[in-house]
Amino acid sequence: MKLDSLIPAPLRKPAKPGAGNGAKKDAAPADLKAAPPERPSDAKRLTDRAVEAPVDVLAWVDQRTAASGFLTGMLYRKVPKGTNWFYTLGSATLFAFIVQAVTGVFLAMFYTPSTTQAYASIAHINNDVFLGAFVHGMHKWGSSVMVIMIFLHMGRTFFFGAYKYPRELNWVIGVVLLILTMTMAFTGYLLPFDQRSFWASVVGININGTGPVVGPYLSDFLRAGPELGATTLSRFYAIHMLLLPGAIIALIGAHMYLVVKLGTTSPPWVRAEKPKPAKPATQLDAGTDGNGASPS
């Protein structure tokens, strides 16, 4: 309970209704009757202040934002019976996205989105920059992790029936997030500008082009012209690091708002508890089915 005292009162887990300790009220007067406490030492008072300082800061923020009500509601919300490890796949996807965002920011510090320098800047990151290969590797492999996690999360939602009323909108938002994630993976693939990423992007853009009527124009839009060129790379870079992350962050916010607002579902194998029959009825009908006959 020592840790509990560090949490500011508004953030503490609310006591269960009716669980208040009635005896405590009487305890206060008893304390008053006791001998006055000794004046604490300066050192003790300093440590007390030091312990209270962060609490005071949090309380100051809370008084001006009233965030604690929202936070306690969100952090201590009820989860249904049967919640298990499969329910962590969404958080895993979110974590993968955060890893991509953080490593991406640091990669952008060394990367040059120019056709003549992109490959060299990636080689510089991998070969010369301290921990560069590690950060680049996290971003590169992390993209696969995010795609895998988002599909597992989608599968969990589907097989647990968690997309049904009233959570259909969250399914739709999730599908948009899936498309954005795939677009993210597609646009990021070109950025190293080596042979593999160049030809993979050529093939990917051409697949986009096979859509009837709009396909050819979509390819031209993606390439910024009839051939893959210098502007294609900067276009993909802008989509990859400016347009899509903003859209993904906004939609993740909406996705999580609905998760907290609507709550999660039980796994399909958890049965709803049968309502208990009312007590008087059991006593009255004990041994009969209400028509005077004995239950078979």
Partner 1 sequence: MSDEADKQNGAEAAARPERPEAQPPGYFEGESMTRRRAFTVAAQGLGGIAGAAIILPAVGFAVAPIFHRGKERWEGVGPVSDFVEDTYRQVVFTETEGIGDAGKTTAYVRKGSELFDEDPASIVAVSNRCVHLGCPVRFVEAAGNFICPCHGGVYDVQGKRIGGPPVRPLDQFQTRIRNGQVEVGPRYSVTSQLEPVRARDPGEFTGGIWEYLYPPRPSTFPPPS
Of 67 and 202, the one with the shorter C-beta distance to partner 1 is 202
Residues forming contacts to partner 1 in the complex (CB under 8 A) are: 115-116, 193, 198-199, 202-203, 205-207, 209-210, 212-213, 215-217, 219-221, 223-231, 233
* Phi/psi of residue 277, nearest 5 degrees: -65, 150
Distance of alpha carbon 50 from alpha carbon 56, whole angstroms:
10
Of 219 and 265, the one with the shorter C-beta distance to partner 1 is 219
Distance of alpha carbon 227 from alpha carbon 25, whole angstroms:
81
Distance of alpha carbon 181 from alpha carbon 204, whole angstroms:
15
DSSP string, 127-195: HTSTTHHHHHHHHHHHHHHHHHHHHHHHHHHHHTTTTSTT-HHHHHHHHHHHHHHHHHHHHHHHTT-SH
Of 47 and 210, the one with the shorter C-beta distance to partner 1 is 210
Of 220 and 285, the one with the shorter C-beta distance to partner 1 is 220
Amino acid present at 12: R
Of 138 and 233, the one with the shorter C-beta distance to partner 1 is 233
Q: How far is the CB of 208 from partner 1 (least distance, A)?
A: 9
Q: How far is the CB of 185 from partner 1 (least distance, A)?
A: 18
Distance of alpha carbon 111 from alpha carbon 187, whole angstroms:
15
Structure tokens given for 257: 């708002």
Buried b (16+ CB within 10 A) or exposed e, 247-283: ebeeebeebbebbeeeebbbbeeeeeeeeeeeeeeee
Q: How far is the CB of 203 from partner 1 (least distance, A)?
A: 4
Q: How far is the CB of 202 from partner 1 (least distance, A)?
A: 4
Of 96 and 233, the one with the shorter C-beta distance to partner 1 is 233
Q: How far is the CB of 71 from partner 1 (least distance, A)?
A: 34
Q: How far is the CB of 195 from partner 1 (least distance, A)?
A: 9
